[in-house]
Structure 1
Amino acid sequence: MPISPRRSAVAAAVLAAACALTLSACGSSDGTSNASASNSASQQGAPDDGTTLSPSGNDGSGATQDPAAATTAPGTATTAPAGAPAGKSSGTPRCHTADLTLSFETGGDAAPDTTSDAQQTAGISVHNRSSHACQVGGFPGLDLNGGSTHWSLSRQSKHYSAITLAPGDNTDFQITFLPELKGKWTPKSVTVTPPNETTSVTLAWPWGPVLLQDGATHPGTYVGPIG
C-alpha cells in the first residue's frame, strides 16, 4: 500500500528526534559523520589570530624565561666601585702599594697636547717591582693637587677585570682631562692610591693647566681603571 506524504513526514521527524536523544553521530546524506561539535570545543580559549598560547613565563621556545637573567647590552659599561677585590679566586695576593712603582708615561706619543682645548689622556704606568706575582684591578683613588685645591677625580664608567703582574711586569691606567688654555689652574702633584690600599704615592704633575671642574656633576676630567 502506498505511504501517504503525511506519514512520510511524521517518520522523518521521529528519526531526527531519535538521533538527538541518543547523541549518536547520524550519517549525513554524503556518508560522512558530523564532527562540528568536537571541532568547536577544541577551539575554545584559542586566539583567533592563528597563534598558540604559551604558558605564563615561557617564551614559546621551550625555555622558561628567567627575570633574573637580564644582561647588559653590548657596548655598555657600569661604574665599578673603587677597591674591587683582586686575587681571591686564584690565591694570588693583591698588589700592595709597596709592591708597585707608579710613574707618568711621557715617551713617544704618550704626551698629551696641552695646546688644544679638546679632551686629552695621560697614562700612569703601574710596575710590579716585587719578587712575587700579584693581582691588581679596579679604580685607583686619584687627587689633583694645586694650591689649596685637592680635586678627587670621578671614575670613568668602564668595565675592568683583575690582572696578574709577574715580577717586573707593567700595566697602566689613564687620566682623561680637559686642558685649560687660559692657564687659570695648574695641578702641582697627583696623589694615587692603588685599589684596596690606604697608602698613597704622590707624583709631580708633568703637564699644563687643567680646567677646574671640581663642582661639576659630569666633569670632563676623570680617572679610568687599572686592568
Structure 2
Amino acid sequence: MRTSRIAVTAAAVVAGLSLSACGGGDSPTNASSSSSSTPAGEQTESAPAGQPEGESTGTGSPEQAPDEGSAGQESTGTAAKPERCHTDDLTITASDATIGGDTTSTVAVKLLNKSDRECSIKGFAGVNLLSSEGAIPATRRDQKDDGTVLKSGEPTYFGIFYKANASGGSGVRIKGLVVTPPDEKKSVTLKWPGEPSLPVTDSPEPSVEIGPMGSVGQGQG
C-alpha cells in the first residue's frame, strides 16, 4: 500500500514538470513583451536615418525663399535734367567774328552761365537788329542743335551771319542788337559790333541769318 502512494506521488511530480515546460506562453518574460506592444490603431513615426528627432523631414510645404531680385536695393533712377537757362542766369555779349576774306560777315554772341548751378540751353535765340529802317528779324539757318548743359561759369556761342554794305552808300544803318535766349521772353539789348550798315536790297534772300547754340566756335568775344 505504501509503495503505491510513492509511485502515484512521483507520477504527479513528473506530470507537473511536463506542464511547466509546455506552457511557455504564460511565462513572465512573454507577458512583459506582450504588455509593451503598440495598441491597435496607433501608428508611430521614426525619423529617417541621419535625421535628428524633432526636425522636419521636408515632406510639408517648403517655406517661400525671399525674393533677392529687388529686396534691399535702392532705386538709382536717372539724374534730373538741369533747368533751362533763363535770361537772368546769363551774361550775354557780342563781338565781331568775321574772318578776313569771307564774303559773309559774322557776329558771335556769347552766353555765359553766371549762376551757381548748371542749366541747359538748346535751339535758337530770338534776334533782331535795330536799324534806321526799323527792326530786322534774323532768319534761322537749317541747322540742328542737340542742346548743351552749361556748368556755372561756362559759355556757349551762336553766330549772326549777314552781308556787309559794300555799295559805298549809306545803306541800312545798324544801331543795336536785341537777343532773347531760347524759350525766354526777357531780352537784352546790346551794341552792334559788326559792320555799321547792311546793303539796301530787294532780294528775297534773308539779309540776316542766325545759327543755333554752338554754331560758332568758342573763343569768340
Same fold (TM over 0.5): yes
Tell me by how many angstroms 1:119 deviates. 1.1
Deviations 1:121-154 (A, max 9, x none): 2111110011110000100010000124101111
Tell me by how many angstroms 1:105 deviates. 3.0
Give the counterpart of 2:111 among 105, 123, 126.
Answer: 126
Q: 1:204 to 1:179 in 2, by over 3 A?
A: same
- The 2-side partners of 1:223 and 1:176 are apart by 6
- The 2-side partners of 1:117 and 1:158 are apart by 20
Counterpart for residue 193 of structure 1: 180
Contact map agreement 1:119 1:220 (CA 8 A) in 2? no
Tell me by how many angstroms 1:156 deviates. 0.5
Q: Which structure has the larger Rg?
A: 2
Contact map agreement 1:189 1:204 (CA 8 A) in 2? yes
Matched length: 133
* Aligned counterparts, 1:38-117, within 5 A: 90-106=80-96, 110-111=97-98
Matched, 1:219 2:206: yes
Contact map agreement 1:111 1:122 (CA 8 A) in 2? yes
Contact map agreement 2:116 2:152 (CA 8 A) in 1? yes
- The 2-side partners of 1:148 and 1:138 are apart by 28
Q: 1:212 to 1:204 in 2, by over 3 A?
A: farther
Matched, 1:151 2:142: no
Q: Structure 2: which 5+ residue stretches go unaligned?
A: 1-78, 215-221
Secondary structure at the aligned position of 1:186 is classed as: strand
The amino acid across from 1:157 in the alignment is D
Contact map agreement 2:95 2:194 (CA 8 A) in 1? no
The amino acid across from 2:95 in the alignment is E
Counterpart for residue 8 of structure 2: none
Contact map agreement 2:93 2:111 (CA 8 A) in 1? yes
Tell me by how many angstroms 1:117 deviates. 8.4
Deviations 1:76-111 (A, max 9, x none): xxxxxxxxxxxxx942100000000111134xxx34
The amino acid across from 2:140 in the alignment is R
- The 1-side partners of 2:102 and 2:118 are apart by 41
Tell me by how many angstroms 1:163 deviates. 0.5
Secondary structure at the aligned position of 1:98 is classed as: helix
- Among the aligned pairs, what percent are the same residue? 29
Question: Bigger CA drift: 200-209 or 94-103?
Answer: 200-209
Counterpart for residue 19 of structure 2: none
Secondary structure at the aligned position of 1:187 is classed as: strand
Structure 1 runs of 4+ with >2 Å offset: 110-113, 215-218
The amino acid across from 1:221 in the alignment is V
What is the TM-score of this pair, normalised by structure 2? 0.55
Matched, 1:138 2:126: no
Q: Structure 1: which 5+ residue stretches go unaligned?
A: 1-88
Counterpart for residue 162 of structure 2: 177
